[in-house]
Amino acid sequence: MAAVKRPLALALLRLFAVQGSYNYERMLGVGVGVAEEPLLRDLDDGKYRPAVARGAHFFNSHPYLVGLAVGAAARAEHDGAPPDQIERLREALCGPLGSLGDRLIWAGWLPLLSGLTLAAVALGAGWIAVASFLVVYNIGHVALRWWALKAGWTHGTRVSVALHHPVLQKAGALLGPAMAFAVGAALPLTAAYLSAPFESWARVALSIVAALSFLGFRLRGDRLNGLRLSLALAALALVVGVIWQ
């Protein structure tokens, strides 16, 4: 067991840098190959080099769940699966892992904790809330990376079993409403917290600007974006500041 755990631990460490070699030709492929390499070292020379080369082929998915493909492909190499089957396995995992990761992390876990942290800061928790966010978020994302890698290694070509794990299904169903509640609660609390130092007239002006910005996005979303709006508001604030002085 220890002989298996050490390569898995090395692969996990390398997964944290999987985006370091991101490029438009292979996306995460090179990083995936580097992460998979420790799991392939005990293959004989005739299989090791081709397996490492296959691991670096094109691959793209959510970076937190890419370990599922790393573990599954490495296990398939050890089980003697044909190269074309391994390639098909990798291709088949790109879409589901990307979609699942986006729903769980970018549209669930991250905004949920961000909303709770903003609300806690607005209520006076200060740096304790920020530190708690960093601890809880990283515990969650590291645990997800480790689970994905172990599940891929355990199931190999039958990795679809892991994708239908009940915990993942329940998490996907719960995180969406929880995120909406947390962000919805955080918005008014954060707005009140940030506007507290301003005079009443300034709060009204900020509310008007926010309302006009929202209408602009709704009516002219094809031409207006966050960058353009931010630059325009920054220029307006600079002009008003100069005139005010």
Is 73:54 a contact under the CB 8 Å cutoff?
A: yes
Q: What is the DSSP letter of 23?
A: B
Q: What does the alpha-carbon distance between residue 104 and residue 203 come to, in Å, rounded to a whole number? A: 36
Reported residue count of the chain is 245
pTM, two decimals, is 0.83
Is 237:230 a contact under the CB 8 Å cutoff?
A: no
pLDDT (tens, 9 = 90+) of the chain, 245 residues, equals 456 688 999 999 999 999 998 999 999 999 999 999 999 999 988 899 999 999 999 999 999 999 999 999 999 999 999 999 999 999 999 999 999 999 999 999 999 999 999 999 999 999 999 999 999 999 999 999 999 999 999 999 999 889 888 888 899 889 999 999 999 999 889 988 888 887 888 788 878 888 888 888 888 777 877 778 788 878 887 887 788 76
Is 147:168 a contact under the CB 8 Å cutoff?
A: no
Nearest to 74 by CA among 182, 150, 196, 156: 156
Half-sphere exposure of 162 (CA within 13 A, CB side): 25
